[in-house]
């Protein structure tokens, strides 16, 4: 036995964790979340809306808000369809019927009873009103012959008192069953002291000491153990408001019956008077509670007043959870979710799911992937753009041909022999350190700071790397069509994915290259990657490749020492050009002047040395003829990828241009492009 007790004690040390975030919970995976947000942003959603949509859908880490909201709605429907609110009246009727039946049996068995008295008693029982309340009132003075009948009749009064108290103080119905006179006296004392406590609070004269003294004497009646008068008020007012909603949900006949029966509670109307004063005080102190609502409940299971009030409280909890889960109010955040209430209504698993979503939202806001812009809206940070771009590049790397990659990108930037000069290290540099210069810098800095000792601490600012000869650079212009047809034909998001993947590759692996993104619709403009990724679909007609080429050529001229690379993504012939005054001119079918100006600017790109690749989207024969002739005119190439393969095609073309134009011939043993 002692050994068993020791085993029981050892097991009892392990209890559910409470008091903060679960220390054993797996870390939040932001990769999936950021990919989903990025997809929605590129499809036209704002980052704020995209994040909320992610939280609504959920993912591999667990269900989302929509699933929790569905379960809340199902729980609410279950409560309203299963129950009805006339359980107390049904129980009173049953007790009354039992008492009358037992009394009739006793009248038959009692041979000593005078026949006149027996006939009078039977007549009184036969003519009882159909209303339970009226019948109970009429039988108050009835001289019961049956002890069993008298006991059932007294249970009616006891039941009513316990139900009325259970409406205001959860658990009273069970606590006062078979209560003694001393128990009822203690209850009367509690109600009197509570009335004084609440009155003092309403008058502004109440103190914490008065509250503590009340709880020391009557705390057993409040198992939730409130710590302040306000917590006590909130608990009492929520319960009382639910009791009022239950009353509002009854029919007029049911309310009249219960009001009449309530006067018989504990054999005296004093309880109703005390509870009436309590309700009035709570209503004045907590007017914001829902005192006027009602519920339609027509199920098969009858509920007593106390249990019905509990169900009405559950319904109020579910309504509050539904609002919190909707996140539709200003300033809403998942931290608003009441996890204790959620666990109480849907179980602990639902609270775990909600806590996971809270951690995900907090991680997205606090990890540097989202920032608050000047207008108050959320925006993707450069860090988020890099992470999203790296995710896209990983997908692209699996599809780009080894011959397109042509080299291991980890060796980029160190093509030539060391020149003998050095420079300060910058993020992304892969050149070897100049150890002598680096240590010299560290020693000089330590001497300037007055440091001593044999050990030398090297800081980032001390590091210098060896410069190399022939640091070949590419000057890249990616021209992306943003005309009406791109959005209409479902090419909008793939275009953005392509731009982001190329931007990430250039800025992370080929930092010496200069990339310019040009979006062209009716007019063209240079865009930062954040601006292009967040660009809404453009519904203006017009494909101004002429203007886009003007901007690309200006970019090439600014970098005369770099290899120009021109990449054009389009799904339509040029239908717009820029006039001398700066206005855009549009016509369809394409006007000869528009075509001539576009071809002329493309030839300028050729004379600047640009290697040109057209990425033709769609199967329009006119577009195919035009693009083929344009590419042939400038010695360029044409790729007609499926829209889902656009990123791979553009990345492969860029790497191929650098290989063929910048680094010379590559051997058969070159390593493939990898991340």
3-state SS record for 400-465: CCHHHHCCCHHHCCCCCCEEEEEEECCCCCCCCECHHHHHHHHHHHHHHHCCCCCCCCCCHHHCEE
Domain check: are 517 and 609 in the same one?
yes
Domain check: are 102 and 241 in the same one?
yes
Question: So what's the pLDDT on residue 412?
Answer: 37
Question: So what's the pLDDT on residue 651?
Answer: 86
Is there a domain that residue 271 lies in?
yes
CA atoms of 514 and 472, how far apart (whole Å): 12
Domain check: are 466 and 480 in the same one?
no
Judged by DSSP in three states, 82 sits in: helix
Question: So what's the pLDDT on residue 168?
Answer: 82
Is there a domain that residue 289 lies in?
yes
Is there a domain that residue 394 lies in?
no
**According to DSSP H, which parts of 455-519 are helical?**
484-488, 492-509
Could you tell me the pTM of the whole model?
0.60
Residue with tokens 């975030």: 21
Domain check: are 115 and 261 in the same one?
yes
Question: So what's the pLDDT on residue 523?
Answer: 93
Is there a domain that residue 543 lies in?
yes
Domain hosting 220: range is 86-296
Question: So what's the pLDDT on residue 592?
Answer: 92
Question: So what's the pLDDT on residue 161?
Answer: 82
CA atoms of 576 and 525, how far apart (whole Å): 14
Is there a domain that residue 387 lies in?
no
Question: So what's the pLDDT on residue 672?
Answer: 44
Is there a domain that residue 496 lies in?
yes
Question: So what's the pLDDT on residue 63?
Answer: 86
CA atoms of 283 and 243, how far apart (whole Å): 12
Question: So what's the pLDDT on residue 658?
Answer: 66
Domain check: are 357 and 467 in the same one?
no
Number of domains the chain is built from: 4
Question: So what's the pLDDT on residue 410?
Answer: 34
Is there a domain that residue 400 lies in?
no
Question: So what's the pLDDT on residue 26?
Answer: 59
Domain check: are 441 and 562 in the same one?
no
Question: So what's the pLDDT on residue 24?
Answer: 55
Domain check: are 149 and 212 in the same one?
yes
Burial class of 205 by CB neighbour count within 10 A (0 to 12, 13 to 18, 19+) = exposed
Domain check: are 442 and 560 in the same one?
no
Is there a domain that residue 22 lies in?
no
Tokens standing for residue 46: 């704002």
Mean pLDDT per 10-residue interval, the chain, length 675 residues: 47 55 61 74 69 79 86 90 84 91 90 84 89 87 91 87 82 74 82 90 90 90 88 90 87 85 74 84 90 84 83 88 84 84 90 85 74 65 73 69 39 48 74 85 84 79 74 84 86 86 84 91 91 79 93 94 91 90 88 93 93 89 89 91 86 75 37 46
Question: So what's the pLDDT on residue 642?
Answer: 87
């Amino acid at each position: 036995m002692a050994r068993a007790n020791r085993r029981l004690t050892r097991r009892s040390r392990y209890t559910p964790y409470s008091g903060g975030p679960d220390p054993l919970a797996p870390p939040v995976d932001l990769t999936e979340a950021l990919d989903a947000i990025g997809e929605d942003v590129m499809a036209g959603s704002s980052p704020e809306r995209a994040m909320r949509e992610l939280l609504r859908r959920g993912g591999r880490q667990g269900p989302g808000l929509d699933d929790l909201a569905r379960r809340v709605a199902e729980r609410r429907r279950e409560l309203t369809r299963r129950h009805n609110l006339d359980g107390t009246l049904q129980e009173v009727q049953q007790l009354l019927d039992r008492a009358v039946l037992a009394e009739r049996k006793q009248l038959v068995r009692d041979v000593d009873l005078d026949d006149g008295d027996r006939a009078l008693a039977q007549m009184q029982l036969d003519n009882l009103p159909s209303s339970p309340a009226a019948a109970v009132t009429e039988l108050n003075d009835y001289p019961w012959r049956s002890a069993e009948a008298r006991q059932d009749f007294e249970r009616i009064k006891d039941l009513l008192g316990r139900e009325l108290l259970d409406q205001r103080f959860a658990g009273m119905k069970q606590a006062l069953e078979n209560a003694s006179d001393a128990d009822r006296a203690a209850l009367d004392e509690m109600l009197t002291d509570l009335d004084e406590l609440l009155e003092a609070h309403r008058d502004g004269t109440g103190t914490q000491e008065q509250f503590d003294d009340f709880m020391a004497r009557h705390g057993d009646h409040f198992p939730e153990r409130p710590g302040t008068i306000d917590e006590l008020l909130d608990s009492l007012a929520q319960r009382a408001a639910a009791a009022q909603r239950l009353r509002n949900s009854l029919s007029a006949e049911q309310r009249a019956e219960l009001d009449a029966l309530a006067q018989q509670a504990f054999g005296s109307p004093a309880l109703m008077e005390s509870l009436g004063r309590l309700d009035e005080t709570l209503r004045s102190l907590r007017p914001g509670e829902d005192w006027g609502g009602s519920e339609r409940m027509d199920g098969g299971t009858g509920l007593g007043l106390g249990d019905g009030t509990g169900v009405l409280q559950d319904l109020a909890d579910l309504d509050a959870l539904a609002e919190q889960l909707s996140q539709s109010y200003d300033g809403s955040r998942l931290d608003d979710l009441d996890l204790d209430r959620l666990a109480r209504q849907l179980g602990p698993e639902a609270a775990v799911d909600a806590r996971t979503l809270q951690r995900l939202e907090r991680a997205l806001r606090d990890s540097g992937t989202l920032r608050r812009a000047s207008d108050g809206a959320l925006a993707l940070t450069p860090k988020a753009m890099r992470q999203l771009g790296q995710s896209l590049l990983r997908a692209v790397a699996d599809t780009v041909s080894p011959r397109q990659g042509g080299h291991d990108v980890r060796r980029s930037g160190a093509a030539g022999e060391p020149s003998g000069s050095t420079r300060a290290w910058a993020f992304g540099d892969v050149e070897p350190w100049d150890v002598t210069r680096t240590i010299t810098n560290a020693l000089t800095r330590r001497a300037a700071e007055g440091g001593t000792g044999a050990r030398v601490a090297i800081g980032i600012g001390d590091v210098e790397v060896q410069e190399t000869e022939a640091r070949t650079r590419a000057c890249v212009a990616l021209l992306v069509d943003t005309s009406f047809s791109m959005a209409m034909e479902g090419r909008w998001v793939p275009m953005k994915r392509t731009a982001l993947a190329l931007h990430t590759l250039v800025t992370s692996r080929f930092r010496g290259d200069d990339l310019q993104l040009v979006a062209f619709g009716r007019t063209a403009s240079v865009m930062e990657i954040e601006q292009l990724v967040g660009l809404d679909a453009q519904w203006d007609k017009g494909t101004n490749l002429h203007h886009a080429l003007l901007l690309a050529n200006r970019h090439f001229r600014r970098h005369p020492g770099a290899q120009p690379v021109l990449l054009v993504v389009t799904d339509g012939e040029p239908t717009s050009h820029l006039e001398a005054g700066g206005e855009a001119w549009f016509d369809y079918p394409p006007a000869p002047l528009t075509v001539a100006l576009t071809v002329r600017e493309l030839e300028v790109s050729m004379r600047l040395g640009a290697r040109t690749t057209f990425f033709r989207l769609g199967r329009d024969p006119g577009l195919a003829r035009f693009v083929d002739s344009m590419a042939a005119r400038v010695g360029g190439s044409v790729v007609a990828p499926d829209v889902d393969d656009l990123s791979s095609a553009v990345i492969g073309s860029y790497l191929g241009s650098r290989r063929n134009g910048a680094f010379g011939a590559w051997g058969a043993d070159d390593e493939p492009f990898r991340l």
